[in-house]
Amino acid sequence: MSEYDVIVVGAGLAGLRAATRLAEAGRDVVVLEAGDAVGGRERTDVVDGFRLDRGFHVLNPAYPAIRRWVDVPALALRRFPVAVGVRVDDRVVRLAHPLRHPSSVPATLASGLVRPADAVALLRWAGPVVVSARAAKRGPDRTLDEAWDRAGLRGPLRDAVLEPFLAGVLADDRQKTSDAFVRLLIRSFALGAPGVPAAGIGALPAQLADTARRAGAGIRLSHRVVSTRRRAHGWHVGIEGRDAVTARSVIVATGLDPSLDVPLPRPRGLQTWWFAADEAPTTDGALRVDGRRRGPVVNTAVMTNTAPTYAPRGRHLIEATCLLAAGATEAAVRQQLAEVWETDTRSWRLIRRDDIAGALPAQDPPLRLRRPARVGDGRYVAGDHRDTASIQGALVSGQRAAEAVLRDLSR
């Protein structure tokens, strides 16, 4: 029976970061992963030459954890335009970041989607947190719809742009998410230029796994943990079809062990449809939303306009994201995409549909930026449900869990 200082259950972003920190501190640590590859929800599969992430993911290099622990240049990040296309009744309107594309301001104001009063309200709502993240933590937290009402943010900017755009980001089309959390997200969008690694989002955990291994951590794939039982001097961890292992401490960094008495935020689900096409419906790489709200699709993008590496040469990949609860049908998705992209989608081939029931944990108000990593019995928990529902939150939670283990072991 193998013995370790620490066993990390789950090779997602949180587990990999925790293992790296522990190994760097000289601890004997192993990561046990049930799947056949690292990454958790951040996985990429190659299907018929197309790179399909498991759901639509973007990586924001503005996140502090990314700047600190990830070699972004090595990922060859392909960045989306800092803009959004909005399908309205008679045309598609493109709204761009006003500070990065000041020449777009006149067209934005002429679009009819951004009335001066709404632009002022948006600045009143988001401006302070763009200047300082601390602004999101001041005062009582509310639901997003309540905060927008208080700020006076109404009209087409809210209904046709912000609501459909954020529905795909938050998996919430009723704006019941924490206002503080959303403003922090808006800050990251404003300061960063999100994109995707050339090899797919799975390149991120692959890099983190390489870093963990170089630090001395072991990573065991296809090792499904089925039990964690307390022993006199640590923990006995059962593995399906394999010999058990023991450790002084255990970090649970993937779905919670039923024996852990830890409340978990309810999950929110998303559904992503991946289509292959011989011709792209546009040359624009910007995300597009349906401002008319006529169908289940909350956002769509021609991935190969931003990352040509996502498809074989001469082919194109289009993603369409829906809320999982919407119960979308392929016919409804195709019809809406035809209108949003102003093209015939009948020749597009459906490659795969990803139903992600636990795409992200709900972030209800009041926002809790830190949930305890310690369970109190020698086990610890990590994951974006302990911090914020983001790549940033997952990485920080893994670091916090590792630091808690190191402090306790040093005693």
Secondary structure (DSSP) of 175-219 = --SBHHHHHHHHHHHHH---EEETT-TTHHHHHHHHHHHHHT-EE
- pLDDT for 100: 77
Q: What is the mean pLDDT of the chain?
A: 94
SS3 call for 4:
strand
Say which residues have a Cβ less than 8 Å from residue 295's Cβ, sequence separation at least 6. 332, 333, 335, 336, 339
102 HSE (CA, 13 A, CB side): 1
| 180 and 227 share one domain | no
Decide if 216 is inside a domain.
yes
Bridge partners (DSSP) of residue 290 are 87
**What stretches in the chain show pLDDT beneath 70?**
1, 256-259
Handedness of CA 277, 281, 283, 284 (dihedral sign): negative
At 1 the pLDDT is 56
Instruction: State both tokens at 240.
Output: 């399906």
Residues 35 and 50 in one domain: no
Q: What is the pLDDT of residue 257?
A: 62
What is the predicted pLDDT for the residue at 258?
Answer: 61
What pairing do the DSSP bridges indicate for beta strands 218-220 and 29-32? Answer: parallel
> Which pLDDT score is estimated for 76?
98
Structural domain range at position 133: 115-185
Q: Which pLDDT belongs to residue 2?
A: 78
3-class secondary structure, 322? strand
pLDDT tens-digit readout, 277-290: 999 999 999 999 99
Q: Among the three residues 139, 156, 185, which one is the final residue of a domain in this structure?
A: 185
Question: How confident is the model over 16-35, as pLDDT tens digits?
Answer: 999 999 999 999 999 999 99
Q: Could you tell me if residue 86 is inside a domain?
A: no
Same structural domain, 148 and 280? no
Q: What are the tens digits of pLDDT across the range 194-219?
A: 999 999 999 999 999 999 999 999 99
Residues 3 and 27: their CA atoms lie apart, in Å, by 12
Regarding whether 351 and 278 lie in a shared domain, the answer is yes
Q: Do 166 and 291 belong to one domain? A: no
Same-domain status, 237 and 386: yes
CB–CB of 30/218 below 8 Å?
yes
CATH for 402? 3.50.50.60
Is residue 17 in a domain? yes
Whether residues 278 and 394 fall in one domain: no
pTM of the model: 0.95
Tell me: do 253 and 273 sit in the same domain.
Answer: no
Residue 145 covered by a domain:
yes
The reply to whether 314 and 286 lie within a common domain is: yes
Residue 392 and residue 258 share a domain: yes
99 domain residue, yes or no:
no
> Given this model, what pLDDT does residue 102 score?
78
- Please check whether residue 109 lies inside any domain of the structure: no
Domain count for the chain, please give it: 3
pLDDT, position 256: 64
| Dihedral, CA of residue 399, residue 405, residue 410 and residue 411, to nearest 10 | 140
- Domain boundary pick from 160, 185, 210: 185
Residue 287 lies in a domain: yes
Report yes or no on 107 lying in a domain.
no
